[in-house]
Amino acid sequence: MTGEVVLKKGIRAMHPQKFGLWLFLISVVMIFISLSSAYVVKKSVGDWVYIDFPQMFNITSVIIILSSISMHYAYLSAKRNNIKSIRIGLAITGVLAVLFVIGQLQAWGELVESGFHFVGNPASSFVYVFSGLHIAHLFGALVFLGVVLTNSFQYKVHSKSMLRIEMCTTFWHFLGGLWLYLYLFLVLNN
């Protein structure tokens, strides 16, 4: 299945599951736009502190980009019916996602060691909220990735059955882009 549904001859519509995913992604965008706006408004109050962001955030940014590449590799492998490469790409993506989460938690530890706690100044609170919400969404993506990986071992992911891996890839690229936006937003508005 390619993710489209034929309604009538020549008329195509988005698959309902893909449509649901896009509605979910739009709601996530709205949440982070709201938080970004709140950040800018709160920063204008004047009790803001400059945060020296942990180097680990740079490392996790590279990790999330690499995970997006490995996810896309799995997607392209599915289009070519290369089952072994699908599994390898999905497994690498999962490992990189776990490394990303571990890195984010280490970055939180570095923030605490530098005196930036969740409670206290709003500048550091926003860093934890942005990062924490992103991690929560990444856990959801990891569950989805696990389902697709399991499906690949059941030979349910291939060029004639692309819906789940297409959706997982879309979600994964979205989360990668979201993290890059969040990190750049925080650094540029520090």
Q: Which of 4-18, 50-64, 152-166 has the least mean pLDDT? A: 4-18
At 46 the pLDDT is 75
Q: State the DSSP H helix or E strand holding residue 8, giving kind and residue range, or none if neither.
A: strand 4-8
In this structure, is residue 5 part of a structural domain?
Answer: no
Beta bridge partners of 6: 12
Per-residue pLDDT tens digits for 91-122: 999 999 999 999 999 999 999 999 899 988 88
Please, which residues bridge with residue 8 across strands?
A: 11
Structural domain contains residue 153: yes
Q: Residue 164 is part of a domain; what is its CATH number?
A: 1.20.120.80
* Residue range(s) defining the domain that contains residue 178: 18-188
Burial 149-179 (b: 16+ CB within 10 A, else e): bebbeeeebbeeebebbbbbbbbbebbbebb
Q: What is the pLDDT of residues 39-73, one digit of tens each?
A: 999 998 877 888 889 999 999 999 999 999 999 99
pLDDT in tens, 19-44: 999 999 999 999 999 999 999 999 98
- 136 lies in a domain? yes
pTM of this prediction? 0.89
pLDDT at 45: 84
Q: Report CA 167 to chain centroid distance, whole Å.
A: 13
Question: Does the residue 28 lie in any domain?
Answer: yes
Mean pLDDT of the chain: 92
Residue 9: per-residue pLDDT = 61
Note whether residue 137 is domain-resident: yes
Domain assignment present for residue 13? The answer is no
The total number of structural domains in the chain stands at 1
